[in-house]
Structure 1
C-alpha cells in the first residue's frame, strides 16, 4: 500500500498528492478496511469490563487510517474526478456502507457502550457527552435490532450508498457534458467580462469562440444579461434538466427512479427503528426537533416572501410587455428583467463592480476579517496539491500553529458543482493532539489568462465568506474528541458560523479597505459601494421563494408515506403553496444533491433558514455594541460557538452566547421582508 495515503509527509502534515496514483486506492481500501475491522473487533471482544478508555475512547481512533484514506479519496472525487475514480467510488461505496453497518450494529459494542453509560455521571463533561452521542448513534444506526430486522437495515444502508453515489455521478455527467456554443452574432447584452469568461471556458474545452457551461458563475450571469430570449431558454432548460434524463447525459443519467427508491428505503429504515417516518427520525436530534417546528418557521417566512415575489413578478411582467412579449413571465426571463430593473433603480451594473471584486482582494478581505475578529493570521505555503491552481495557507495565532487551510476556487471539468467545506484532518486533543486541515471548494470562473486576475460576482464574494465561516468552525475548534470537533454539530446549527461570517462582507469598512480596482488599485468609490449595498435586498423575494420551495418539498418528501412518484409530489407541494410559476425550486428533485447525494441534508434543507434566524440575531449582538468587530462579542462567539463543536447541545451553546432565544424578526429585517408583513 502507498504509505502516503495514511501517513502524510507533505508540508505541515499535508498529503503529498503528487505521490498518489489512482491505482493506489483499491489496495489501500482493502488494507485499511481490514485494519479497521480488526481494531473494532478488538474493542468489541475485549474481555476486560467496559470502560470509557477501552470502549468509547478506543472507538475514536480505531478507524483513523481508513478515515485519512477516505478524506483524500473523496476530496479528489469531488474536486478532480475521472473515470477511474468514479468507477472505484461505485465499487467502494457499498463496501464502506457494509463496514459501517457491521460496526454500528454490533450488539457487543452496543452492550459495552450501554454499560459505560450507566456510570457516565462520574465522567468528565466532554467524556460524558461523547458517551451519550456514541450510544445515540448506535441506537439510531440499528444496533438494538435483531434477526431479520438487523439484516434488512444493513441491506438498506448498502443500497442507499450505491444509490446516492449513482445520483451524484449522474448530475456530474450532465454538468460536465453540456456545452452551449454562442455565436458572435448572439452576444447582445453580454458584458465584456462575461464574454471573456465564456471564451476562456471554450478554450479550456478545446473549442473556438465562446460557450456557456453549467458552471453557476457562467450560467447565472448569462441568464441575467443575454438579450436573446431563445438562448436563455435553452441554457435554463439545460441547467434545470440535470439528472432528469433530459440532460446532456440522456436517459442514462435519469435520477427520478433513484430518488423514488431512496425515499422508499429511508422510510423503511425509519420504521425499522420505530419512527413514524423519516422526518421524525432525522429531526429528533436536531435543534428543530420536529417537522411541525420546521414547517412553522418556513411557513411564517414563506408568506412574506411570496408577497414580495408576486409584487416583483408584476413589475417584471410589465417590463416584458414593454419589450413586446405577450406571453407569461417565464423562469428564463426572471433574472434578465430583475437585472435590468436593478441596474435602472439602483444605477448598478455588475460590470461596474466586478473589477473591484477580484479573488485576491476578497481573500484578503476574508483573512483580514478573521484576523480582526479572532487574532488569526494566514501565511501562504507551497505544497503539492491535486491541481496547480489549488492553494494552501498556514493559520497561526500568537505564533502558534492553528491549522492548515486549503482553497480550491476555480471551476474545471471533473469538479462537482457548488461550494463546500470539508476537513482532511479533524482537530482533537488525543495524545499530542492534532490541528485541523480544512478545505474550501468553490466553482468561480477562472482567470482569462495566466497572470490575469480572477473576478468574482457579488454572489461569489458571499460564497467565499460563507465557506470560510465553515472553515473557522474547524480552525478555532478546541475539543478533546475528533468525532465532535469542528462542524460535527446539529445540521440546523452548522450553517450558523458560515452564514454569520457573510455579514462582514457587507460592512462598509471591509469593502473600503479591500475592494480595490484590479488595474488601478483605486478603492471602491463610496457612491458605488452604497448602491451595491442598497441593491442587496433587491431580489430577496425571488431568492427566499426558490429556497423555501426546495426546503418545503424536501420536508414533504420525508413526512408520512414516501411518494411513489417524487416529481408528482413535488408538483403537488408547489401547487399547494401557490408558488409563482416563474420561480422554480432552487434545486429540483433530479439534481437535489443536498438531499439525495447522501443523508446530510435529507429532511434538513430547512437548516439554512433555521441557522439564518440565529446568524441574523448573532450579528445583531455586534450591532448592539455599535462595532462589527467588537472584541467582547467576538470572544464570546469563539468561546461558545466556534470552539465548542458538539461538546454541548446546540441550543445550550446558543443560549450561552446570546443569553436568549433567537427570533425571526432579525431575519425578516435582514432580507428586507419585514415591512411586507406589517
Structure 2
C-alpha cells in the first residue's frame, strides 16, 4: 500500500459480512495464530527475530479482522450479524486466554527476555514489547500450578462471556415512556417534530426513549418533576439482569487477582497505570472531593433555593433534591446567570457545519488534510468516510469514519472504535489506521437540519481527538499504537482538545445560524464561554462519585460487596443528589466497568490534570493555531502512542514535569 496514492475506492475494509463469513474468519484467525504459536514455542534458538517478531507480527496483522468482526455487534442493522459478532468476540477472547497461558510459549519468550545480550541489542520499542509480553503471560497465570492455571482460565473465560452479554444488554435495551403533551411542558417545539405517538384510552401520547437525543432534553427542560422522575427511572431501571452480571464480575475479578498474587483487582489493574497503587488513586480522589465540595455545595444551595421557591409558589411541600433535578435547575441557573438559552445556542450549531468546521480546525492545528470519500462501502447510509493526509497531500495517514446518528440496536453512547490499527508489516510496509466515531446526536427533522447542543460540540471534539491519536501515531507494533497508552492517560489528549470548543476565535469559524447563515454573535460567544465552569462543582462531583464507586468495589480484599447498594449509597452521598424511594440500578448500564475501565474510571479526572497543563502551558502560551506547537504535540504525544511511558511523552512536550495548577484553575478552584 503506497503512502502517496489515495485509496479512492475507500478503506478496503469489508463491512458486508454474513454470519457465516464471521464464523469462518474466526476459525481462520485461531488456526493461523495457533500455527505461529506452535512454531515459535518449539524454536531451538529463541531470539527476538525467531520468537518475538513472528508472534507479534501475527497479532498485528490479525488485528484488523479481529476488530472488524467484533465491531459489527455495535452497528449492524442485522440481528443475525450482531449475534454472530458477539459470539465471535466470546470465541476469540476465549482463545486469547488459552494462548496467553501456554507455558511453552512463555518459555520461548522468557528465553529472549533473560538473554541480556539479546535484550541490550534491541531498540526501545522492541525491548518494551518483550517486557509487555512477559507481563501478559504472568498475568495469564503461567507461573501457577496446572490446577490454579486451569481455574484462572475458567474465571477469565466466564468474565469474557459476561462482558459480551452485559454490553449487548446495554445496547439493545432502551427504556421507553409515553407522555402527553401536557406532561412534556417546557420542551421546545422541535422536540415534537416527527416524533412517534401512541393512542391509549383515547389519549395521544408521545414516545420518549432513553436514547440521548430524547433523554437529555426531557431531563433538562421538562417543567414537571414527575416527568423528569419517570424518564430518570426508565433510564436507571434498564438491564436489571446486568446487576447479577456485574456482581459476578466483581467477585470473579477478586478471585483472579488473588490467584495471581495481588490483594485486590484494583492492585492488579493499577500495577501498569501511571498511578501505580490504589492508595495513590484514593488520595487523589479524596483530595479532589474536598476541594470540589466547596464549589458543589454552593451550587447545591442555589439549586435548592430555586426548587424551594418553585414548590412554594405551587403550594407544594419541599421534598428535597433528586438526581432528576440537577440538569433542570442547573439549566435554569445557567440561563439566569449567563442569559443562555440552549435552544437558541443550538441554532448556530448544525451538525454539518460543525463537523466541517472542526475538521478544518484539526487540519490547521495538526497540519493535516481531509478528503471525503464519495459513495464508500459502509455498514449504514448515515456513515461518512474521510481520507486523512499530511497537509501537503504527499503522505497518506489513515481513514476516519463518522457514524453520528442514533438507530435501533446501535451502540447508544459516544465512542471511538479502532478497526484497523497502524503498524509495520514484515516487509517493512505500513498498515494504515482506520477509526470509527460512534455517536447519537439528534437527527434532522422535517423543518430543521441536525442541530447540536454545545455539549455535543465538545463531545465531537473529544472523540475525534481519540481518532487522531490513532491516525497520527506511528509505531512498529499494533500493541503500542495510538491510544494504547496507560489507561489513566488515554483521555488526556482528547480532553485537551475539548478546549477548542470554548475558544471564541474557533467558534466564530463554524458557528452560523442554520437559517440565515449569520455568524454566532460575539455577545453570545462571550456568555457561552463565561458559562464554561457553570456547574463544575456538581458535574465533577458526579464523575468523582463514579470513580470512587469503581474503586470501592474493586479494592475489596476478601468476601463480597453488594454492587447495587454501594453504587446507590456512593452516588447519593458524593454527588449530593438523592436517588428517590423507588428502586434503581444505574450501575447496570455503567459500561466502563465492564469495557476496560475497571479500577480505572478515575482516569477521566486524573488525566484532566495533564490535559489542562498541556493546553495552558503550550497552546495558550504559543497560540491555539500555532502549527509548530501542533507539530510538537503530534511528535511528542500522538506519534509515539504507547511505545514509551506517558510520563516521558508529557515531559518532552511540556519541557518539565506536569503539575495540577492549570487543572485547578481551569475549573475555578484557584484564582491565580
Residue 379 (1) aligns with residue 355 (2): no
2:28 pairs with 1:28:
no
* Superposition deviation, residue 572 in structure 1: 4.9
Shift of 1:579: 4.5
Q: Which sections of structure 1, spanning at least 5 residues, go unmatched?
A: 1-8, 246-253
- In 1, are the aligned partners of 2:179 and 2:207 still within 8 Å (CA)? yes
Query: Which residue number in structure 2 is paired with residue 248 of structure 1?
Result: none
Alignment root-mean-square deviation, CA: 2.3
Instruction: State which drifts further: 346-355 or 566-575.
Output: 566-575
| 1:347 aligns with one of 335, 339, 346 | 339
- In structure 1, how many angstroms separate the alpha carbons of the residues matched to 2:34 and 2:277? 36
Seen in structure 2, the aligned counterparts of structure 1 residues 223 and 573 have a Cα distance that, compared at 3 Å, is closer
Per-residue Cα deviation, 1:154-206 (whole angstroms, up to 9, x for no partner): 1111100111112112222322xx2223323333211123333xx34669xxx
Shift of 1:74: 2.3
SS of match in other structure, 1:674: coil
Question: Are 1:429 and 2:424 counterparts?
Answer: yes
Tell me, yes or no, if the aligned pair for 2:367 and 2:631 is still in contact at 8 Å. Answer: no
Contact 2:70/2:88 (8 A) holds in 1? no
C-alpha separation between the residues in 2 aligned to 1:661 and 1:587?
A: 41
For the structure 1 residues 134 and 217, does the alpha-carbon distance in structure 2 shift closer, same or farther, using more than 3 Å as the test? same
The answer to whether 1:388 aligns with 2:415 is no
Q: 1:483 matched to which residue of 2?
A: 479
What is the match of residue 100 of structure 1? Answer: 96
Whole-Å Cα distance in 2 between the matches of residues 312 and 285 of structure 1?
A: 37
Displacement of 1:544 in angstroms is 0.4
Deviations for 1:11-62, whole angstroms, at most 9, x for unmatched residues?
3433233x42234222332233222222222222233x11111211111222
Q: Is the 8 A contact 1:621 1:633 kept in 2?
A: no
Please state which structure has a larger fraction of its residues in helix: 1
Cα distance change, pair 662–104 in 1 and its aligned pair in 2 (3 A): same
- Report what 1:292 is aligned to: 279
The residue that corresponds to 1:619 in the other structure is 615
Count matched residues: 645
Match of 1:191 among 188, 198, 206: 188
After superposing the two structures, state which structure 1 stretch, 320-329 or 275-284, moved more: 320-329
Query: Which residue pairs with 2:120 in the alignment?
Result: 121
* Corresponding residue number in structure 2 for 1:249: none
Q: Partner of 2:325 in structure 1?
A: 333
- Quote the residue 1:522 is aligned against: 518
Aligned to 1:159: 158
State which of 412, 420, 424 in structure 2 corresponds to 1:417. Answer: 412
State the secondary structure of the residue aligned to 1:356: coil
1:304 shift after superposition: 2.2
Q: Scaled by the length of structure 1, what TM-score is found?
A: 0.91
Q: Does 1:363 align with 2:322?
A: no
Q: Using the TM superposition, give the Cα deviation of residue 287 of structure 1 relative to its aligned residue in structure 2, in angstroms.
A: 0.5
Change (3 A) 1:401 1:629: same
1:308 equivalent to 2:300? Answer no
SS of residue paired to 1:422: strand
Range with bigger deviation, 130-139 or 272-281 = 130-139
Cross-structure match for 1:41: 38
8 Å CA contact 2:274, 2:489 repeated in 1: yes
Shift of 1:302: 1.2
Q: Does 1:566 align with 2:553?
A: no
Mapped to 1, the partners of 2:530 and 2:92 lie a distance apart of: 49
C-alpha deviation, 1:672, in angstroms: 2.1
Question: Alignment partner of 1:553: what SS?
Answer: helix
**Structure 1 residues 624 and 234: CA distance shift in structure 2, 3 A:** closer
Contact kept, 8 Å, 1:188 with 1:227, in 2: the verdict is yes
Moved more, 138-147 or 624-633: 624-633
Aligned counterpart, 1:16: 14
3-state DSSP of counterpart to 1:300: helix
Partner Cα separation in structure 2 for residue 241 and residue 80 of structure 1:
26
Q: Which residue of 1 aligns with 2:141?
A: 142
Between stretches 95-104 and 638-647, larger displacement belongs to: 95-104
Q: 1:569 to 1:351 in 2, by over 3 A?
A: closer
8 Å CA contact retained: 2:72, 2:82 = no
User: How far is the alpha carbon of 1:536 from its aligned partner?
Assistant: 1.6
Find the counterpart in structure 2 of residue 595 from structure 1.
Answer: 593
